[in-house]
Chains A and B, each alone.
Chain A
């Protein structure tokens, strides 16, 4: 997994690319740490460049959500497609996240 960050109105957009799996724990650690920085009201995780996700990475996205909630930050998942979209549907992520195309 690779990630890049850009500023958006009220917060940040994190663009994730590649494969999101159990092996990306260190990468997720820095993404989650970013959620704890003050001054953001909104985070967008752009998943359009993600080709594969596993259940461990779903869990890490949920950890990001917990962190966002505790900091009063809103979190949006954007652009899930293919296998990522299918697995997030199976996991009923639409009930937990705002999902944008």
Chain B
């Protein structure tokens, strides 16, 4: 019988950790150093930075974690020794997670500086689309002219303060091999319609550049989960 993956909680009640471990087949451990999966309450950037300097853990998940998180992508991250992250939008929004994830990946995979820029840029675009347009459900058209920009700012701030939007999850799974790096970003929004971005944006466009930029910087990009996910692959 293969050994169960190890679970640790940071700032999470030990009874809760034991319950989750029993339900989903984990072995609880006392320290982060020997864990495969970390459940963390109210994470901040410094904590994540510290946790991500070590590898394993292969997964970091903010609590309370919905049951659907203990599924395929988490198992994939553990089996392939990748990295799975699941955070609420309000926690992730101001954390600059693209840079956090990218510096963590750069420690594990040999990437030249140019490639690091490309991965961080593409990942940043995927995450901001997922958070702003997916989970917060704010249309980018409001960034089209200076008169509407104030409205855009107010709406983003308001949604970040509304649990219905702010608690929606953002997920990232990265796996890598000699064939390259694959990153999947998922949100809980309405789903992105690719037909809106079939043409290149106008040079003066204030929005709609993100997806074109991703296309330009990745080996391939595909929409998954009815437009609520984006799978990007990069050359090694």
Q: Please name all residues of chain B whose beta carbon is closer than 8 Å to the beta carbon of A95 when the two chains form the complex.
A: 203
Interface size on B, residues (CB 8 A): 32
Q: Are A67 and B210 in contact (CB under 8 A)?
A: no
Quote the shortest CB–CB distance from A16 to chain B (angstroms).
15
Given contacts A32-B149, A63-B146, A96-B204, contact A22 B209 (CB under 8 A): no
Is B79 an interface residue when CB atoms closer than 8 A count as contact? no
Q: Are A59 and B143 in contact (CB under 8 A)?
A: yes
Is A17 an interface residue when CB atoms closer than 8 A count as contact? no
Report A43-86 residues with CB < 8 Å from chain B CB: 52, 54-56, 58-60, 62-63, 66-67, 70, 82-83, 86
Select which of B93, B99, B131, B203 is within 8 A of A52 by beta carbon: B99
Q: Are A92 and B203 in contact (CB under 8 A)?
A: yes
Is A19 an interface residue when CB atoms closer than 8 A count as contact? yes
Q: Are B153 and A25 in contact (CB under 8 A)?
A: yes
| Interface size of A as a range | 20 to 34
Q: Please name all residues of chain A whose beta carbon is closer than 8 Å to the beta carbon of B131 when the two chains form the complex.
A: 22
Q: Please name all residues of chain B whose beta carbon is closer than 8 Å to the beta carbon of A63 when the two chains form the complex.
A: 143, 145-146, 149, 206
Q: Are B153 and A21 in contact (CB under 8 A)?
A: no
Q: Which of B117-125, B162-170, B175-183 contacts A (4 or more CB under 8 A)?
A: B117-125
Q: Are A59 and B157 in contact (CB under 8 A)?
A: no
Chain B residues within CB distance 8 Å of chain A:
93-94, 96, 98-99, 117, 120-121, 124-125, 128, 131-132, 140, 143, 145-146, 149-150, 152-153, 156-157, 203-207, 209-210, 213, 216
- List the 6 closest pairs (A to B, CB-CB), nearest first: A59-B206, A55-B209, A22-B128, A83-B117, A55-B210, A25-B153
24 A-B contacts (beta carbon < 8 Å):
A22-B128, A23-B128, A29-B150, A32-B149, A52-B99, A54-B125, A54-B210, A55-B125, A55-B128, A55-B210, A59-B140, A59-B209, A60-B206, A62-B206, A63-B143, A63-B146, A63-B206, A82-B117, A90-B213, A91-B203, A91-B209, A92-B203, A96-B203, A96-B204
